[in-house]
Amino acid sequence: MNSAPEGYAPTDHSSPYMDLIGRLYEQGSGEDYRLGMRVEEHHTNRLGQCHGAVLAALADVHLLRVIALTRKPRLTLVTVHLGLDYLSPAPLGSWMEGRGRIDRMGRSLCHSSGMIYADGKPVLRASGVFQVISDDRVKK
């Protein structure tokens, strides 16, 4: 059930927290960048739908990567603000995909917004503000 649609490849994004959620897949770059995952049993709530916290984590990582991947070398960012509107449930087994855009790029703060879709149906609207972190603060 963990298969991704054609054209997606596993991301290089990893952290102890994201490793708990599971494999993320990506395709494209810039505003054509897509981040996705399959809703598995361990992502669900007692209603058998994707838990809201998993949706929030996917939105957070997606909006951040829409910005981070536009620069070489890739920017390191942390979330300052994340706004979420839950629109409908994402059922077990569905393919969730983030689509977004950069709204504003500053030297220290960047803004992006987008949607998460489950099998093509909108399930979450998100907007975020992210702070640029200097490389000397990044844990190696």
Q: What is the pLDDT of residues 54-63, one digit of tens each?
A: 999 999 999 9
d(CA 58, CA 34): 11
Residue 2 has pLDDT above 60, yes or no: no
- Predicted pLDDT at 52: 97
- Cα–Cα distance for residue pair 137/60, rounded to 1 Å: 20
Record the pTM. Answer: 0.91
Angle, CA 131 vertex, CA 128 and CA 136 arms, to 5°: 145
The reply to whether 128 falls in a domain is: yes
* Domain membership flag for residue 1: no
Task: Tell me whether residue 76 is in a domain.
Answer: yes
Query: Mean of the per-residue pLDDT values for the chain?
Result: 91
Q: What is the pLDDT of residue 61?
A: 95
Q: Based on the structure, what is the number of domains in the chain? A: 1
In the chain, % of residues over pLDDT 90: 74
Residue range of the domain that includes 57: 9-137
> Would 59 be classed as within a structural domain?
yes
Does some domain include residue 115? yes
Look at residue 47 and tell me whether its pLDDT is greater than 60. yes
Residue 86 within a domain: yes
The reported pLDDT for the residue numbered 20 is 85
Instruction: Name the residue type at position 87.
Output: L
CATH code of the domain covering residue 84? 3.10.129.10
Is residue 31 in some structural domain? yes
The answer to whether residue 3 is domain-embedded is no
Q: Output the pLDDT for position 137.
A: 64
Q: For the segment 74-129, what is each residue's pLDDT rounded down to a tens digit?
A: 889 999 999 999 999 999 999 999 999 999 999 999 999 999 999 999 999 999 99
